[in-house]
């Protein structure tokens, strides 16, 4: 089955054996009647499993060409579940430029539980090698990175991780499985904030993990059930519905993202535009190799690097909404230093380029002329 068909039918065979509904029914039930004690019809208690959630989990697994899918109550809950595979004393090598909330979870929760983190600029695979030792158990990659749009070579890191028997996990939130399939490139785990492009309509918080390995899946299902960070059936339905148009939305996100990146690059007030589609982007060749397109996320800094000017620009936008999050049909604008990446110390975040004038755009699927006019007005006034 091709990807565009999978968004609609992947993992959805016989979705409603009872009545043949074509959409996964919303089983808004916390528990299921048992035939006799301990014997049920496939579902016993909704923390362990719910048919609406199963439908979504199968759909996400199919999109990532993976065997097993798991849904969680948020993207961070999905990351939390992955890190529960580790033990005190284990070491993790993580991308240094990453979502601020992921950094907060690593530095503010897992560090205190005895996990040691090395935050590394992964632009070259060589830079990772010197941090590998016997205790290294996981490599955490975000690509494209949030918010600097750096590209990390998944296939090349997977060769290194396999050689050293280290798990490789990829946060695929920015790319989506439409543009990039990390398991195909050798990753062991692929994670999403389904809140973003998978849901696609900014109306739900959710996370997911997909794996191929049987024992890894078994342990993650155990963690999902034991820790209980599961999404509700209504939210699972919403993400299932969102996924059905993922391919169409992504095409427009990519088109609009490209037009905005090119417009910004020519603007006299703009210092630098971060978008992996530019031929002179430091890792453009890797982006071309591992992604089908360059996505709808664009970041840029302003000349003079003035915090005040960035604020005034953001306040003047009308169609772009000033808000955290990304990946919805509507265009959003954010100021990473004070919003999504505020939890990263200033010195650290500036090292990866998150300066005071940096603005991040989640380019939506509106008419491109309206979007460019909105930016033009915000620069002009």
Give the binding site for ligand P1T (CB under 6 A): 74-76, 99, 101-102, 142, 146, 171, 173-174, 193, 195, 205, 207, 324-326, 340
Which is nearer to ligand P1T, 141 or 375 (by Cβ)?
141
Nearest residue to ligand P1T by CB is 75
Instruction: Give the Cα-Cα-Cα angle 141, 143, 146 (nearest 5 degrees).
Output: 100
Is 19 annotated in the active site?
no
Which is nearer to ligand P1T, 12 or 356 (by Cβ)?
356
CB 146 within 8 A of CB 96: no
Which is nearer to ligand P1T, 80 or 153 (by Cβ)?
80
CB 354 within 8 A of CB 147: yes
Given 16, 40, 45, 47, the catalytic residue: 47
Given 99, 178, 197, 274, the catalytic residue: 99
Is 171 annotated in the active site?
yes
Which is nearer to ligand P1T, 243 or 326 (by Cβ)?
326
Which is nearer to ligand P1T, 15 or 363 (by Cβ)?
363
77-102: b (≥16 Cβ within 10 Å) or e: bbbbbbbbbbeeebbbbbbbbbbbbb
Given 196, 249, 258, 349, the catalytic residue: 196
For the CA atoms of 300, 302, 307, 310, the dihedral, rounded to the nearest 10 degrees, stands at -70
| Partners of 42 in beta bridges | none
Could you tell me the two tokens for 334?
């954010």
Q: How far is the CB of 100 from ligand P1T (least distance, A)?
A: 7
Q: How far is the CB of 123 from ligand P1T (least distance, A)?
A: 18
- Alpha-carbon radius of gyration of the chain: 21
Q: How far is the CB of 192 from ligand P1T (least distance, A)?
A: 8
Q: How far is the CB of 266 from ligand P1T (least distance, A)?
A: 26
Q: How far is the CB of 73 from ligand P1T (least distance, A)?
A: 8
Q: Which helix (H) or strand (E) holds 237?
A: helix 233-243
CB 179 within 8 A of CB 291: yes
Which is nearer to ligand P1T, 180 or 195 (by Cβ)?
195
- Cα–Cα dist 95/233, whole Å: 33
CB 105 within 8 A of CB 76: yes
Q: How far is the CB of 99 from ligand P1T (least distance, A)?
A: 4
DSSP-derived letter for residue 117 is E
Is 203 annotated in the active site?
no
Task: Indicate the burial class of 295 (C-beta count within 10 angstroms; 0-12, 13-18, 19 or more).
Answer: buried
Is 99 annotated in the active site?
yes
Annotated catalytic residues are 47, 99, 171, 196
């Amino acid at each position: 089955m091709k990807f565009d068909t999978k968004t609609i039918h992947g993992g959805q065979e016989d979705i409603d054996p009872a009545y043949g509904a074509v959409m996964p029914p919303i089983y808004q039930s916390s528990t299921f009647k048992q035939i006799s004690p301990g014997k049920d019809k496939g579902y016993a208690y909704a923390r362990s499993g719910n048919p609406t959630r199963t439908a979504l989990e199968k759909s996400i697994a199919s999109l990532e060409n993976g065997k097993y899918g798991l849904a969680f109550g948020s993207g961070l809950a999905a990351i939390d579940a992955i890190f529960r595979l580790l033990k005190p004393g284990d070491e993790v090598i993580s991308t240094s430029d990453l979502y601020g909330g992921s950094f907060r979870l690593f530095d503010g929760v897992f560090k205190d539980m005895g996990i040691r983190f090395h935050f590394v600029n992964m632009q070259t695979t060589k830079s990772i090698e010197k941090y590998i030792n016997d205790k290294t158990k996981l490599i955490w990659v975000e690509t494209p990175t949030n918010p600097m749009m750096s590209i990390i070579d998944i296939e090349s890191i997977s060769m290194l991780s396999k050689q050293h028997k280290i798990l490789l996990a990829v946060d695929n939130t920015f790319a989506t499985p439409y543009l990039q399939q990390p398991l195909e490139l050798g990753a062991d785990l692929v994670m999403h904030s389904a809140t973003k492009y998978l849901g696609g309509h900014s109306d739900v918080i959710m996370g997911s993990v997909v794996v191929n390995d049987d024992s890894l899946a078994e342990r993650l299902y155990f963690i999902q059930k034991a820790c209980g960070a599961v999404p509700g059936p209504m939210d699972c339905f919403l993400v299932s519905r969102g996924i059905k148009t993922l391919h169409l939305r992504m095409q427009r996100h990519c088109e609009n993202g490209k037009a905005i990146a090119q417009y910004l690059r020519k603007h006299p007030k703009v210092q630098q535009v971060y978008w992996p589609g530019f031929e002179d982007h430091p890792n453009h060749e890797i982006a071309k190799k591992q992604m089908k397109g360059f996505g709808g996320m664009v970041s840029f800094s302003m000349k003079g690097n003035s915090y005040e000017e960035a604020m005034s620009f953001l306040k003047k936008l009308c169609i772009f909404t000033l808000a955290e999050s990304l990946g919805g049909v509507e265009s959003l604008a954010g100021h990473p230093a004070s919003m999504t990446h505020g939890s990263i110390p200033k010195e650290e975040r500036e090292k990866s380029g998150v300066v005071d004038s940096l603005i991040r755009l989640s380019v939506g699927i509106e008419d491109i002329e309206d979007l460019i006019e909105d930016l033009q007005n915000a620069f002009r006034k």
